[in-house]
A and B are shown apart, each in its own frame.
Chain A
Amino acid sequence: MTAVALLRIRNLFAVVMLAGIYSLLSAGLFTVMDAVDVAFTEAAVGAGISTVLMLGTLALVGRKEKAPDRHPVLPLFVVLVTGAALVYGSLDMPPFGDPDNPIHQHVAPRYLEESGEEIGVPNVVTSVLASYRGYDTMGETTVIFTAVVGVLLLMATRRRRWTEEGKGDDDGG
């Protein structure tokens, strides 16, 4: 329901607030599903930091969304076809929650049973993230670093050029 409201509302301030609520609700959902680490991340990043960042962006772009000038028929068609293809693909997936599923048989038992002795860290999520899947986490760290490099390049250079162009009426920002 929150997601539908997100799509309908044109006041961007309300959209940002609803996105935060949506994140917080998903964090609660993750907690119910016993995925505390994921819930923690969702609450901190989705509901916390990204809301603040989006508010900061709103201060730059204004809080009203432009009304669309035509009805988006072609995008709707593309989305429907893609969604149908994805649903069709999901029909071949093993039944949800079945303990014999491949995902529960491959490496998960080893992580759960032996990571205590192998790694010596009680939280399996931490040992999987940092040790068994150390390469992936390093990739994630690099992704964040790349993102910050991109943001800094975009934001910083653009402003400097403006300052050069408007030398006369610049009051030192």
Chain B
Amino acid sequence: MEDRVILRVGAKILIPHILLFALYVQFHGDYGPGGGFQAGVIFASAFILYALIYGLAHAKRVLPLGFASFCAALGVVIYAGVGVATLLKGGVFLEYGVLRHDPVHGQELGILLVELGVFTTVFGSMVAFFYSFTGRRKSRS
């Protein structure tokens, strides 16, 4: 689809808004519908759109497969790291209340970090899925 001008320009206009909307869903998840999972999917869909319109090679230059799978692992580390941090602070695993002096603030911080972990994992996984499914040639032609 390299020569479709309307698609290329349209995608160029859409992609920043998709990214911004994903971040909105991520950080507004405390107040409205949404959260790390949905935000991660939307964020990944922006890169998938880019790969569909501009080709997989260009997308892989922006976001290599290695980085996507690194993100998938990093999110789990963030999530579990929050749990370990609460352990070190003297609480139970994933007991966010001990992260700050005020338990309610600790809960908010914990949820924010944990959602960030979910976001990173989902984003990295979706991009990696897409790369590995589309990057593969037809086996028997």
**Could you tell me if A49 and B111 are in contact, using CB atoms closer than 8 angstroms?**
no
Bound CA–CA A3/B118 (angstroms): 31
Say yes or no: is B23 at the interface (Cβ < 8 Å to chain A).
no
User: Nearest B residue to A153 by beta-carbon distance?
Assistant: B132
B103 contact set on A, CB distance < 8 A: 118
**Could you tell me if B128 and A148 are in contact, using CB atoms closer than 8 angstroms?**
yes
Within 8 Å by CB of B41, from A44, A121, A147, lies: A44
Within 8 Å by CB of B75, from A127, A135, A141, lies: A141
A interface SS class: helix
Binds B, one of A8-16, A33-41, A78-86: A33-41
Within 8 Å by CB of A119, from B111, B128, B129, lies: B111
B67 contact set on A, CB distance < 8 A: none
Say yes or no: is A125 at the interface (Cβ < 8 Å to chain B).
yes
Give chain A interface residues in 114-147, CB to chain B under 8 Å: 117-123, 125-127, 129-131, 134-135, 137-138, 140-142, 144-145, 147
A40 contact set on B, CB distance < 8 A: 25, 33-34, 38
Q: Shortest beta-carbon distance, A94 to chain B, in Å?
A: 28
Q: Report the tally of A-B residue pairs with Cβ distances under 8 A.
A: 144
Q: Shortest beta-carbon distance, A40 to chain B, in Å?
A: 5
Bound CA–CA A39/B48 (angstroms): 21
Within 8 Å by CB of B129, from A37, A148, A173, lies: A148
Bound CA–CA A141/B71 (angstroms): 12
Within 8 Å by CB of B121, from A53, A59, A145, lies: A145
Total B residues in contact with A, Cβ cutoff 8 Å: 53
For B42, B52, B126, which residue has the most chain A Cβ atoms within 10 angstroms? B126
Given the known inter-chain contacts A41-B38, A53-B130, please indicate yes or no for A147 contacting B125, CB distance below 8 A.
Answer: yes
Total A residues in contact with B, Cβ cutoff 8 Å: 47
B41 contact set on A, CB distance < 8 A: 41, 44-45, 48-49
Say yes or no: is A107 at the interface (Cβ < 8 Å to chain B).
no
**Could you tell me if B35 and A49 are in contact, using CB atoms closer than 8 angstroms?**
no
**Could you tell me if B31 and A122 are in contact, using CB atoms closer than 8 angstroms?**
yes
Contact with A along B31-62 (1 / 0, CB 8 A): 11111011001101100100010000000000
Say yes or no: is A151 at the interface (Cβ < 8 Å to chain B).
yes
Within 8 Å by CB of A126, from B29, B105, B121, B135, lies: B29
Can you identify 18 A-B contacts, CB atoms within 8 angstroms?
A40-B34, A48-B41, A56-B133, A56-B134, A120-B104, A121-B107, A123-B29, A129-B35, A134-B96, A141-B121, A145-B76, A148-B69, A148-B124, A151-B129, A151-B133, A152-B132, A155-B132, A155-B136
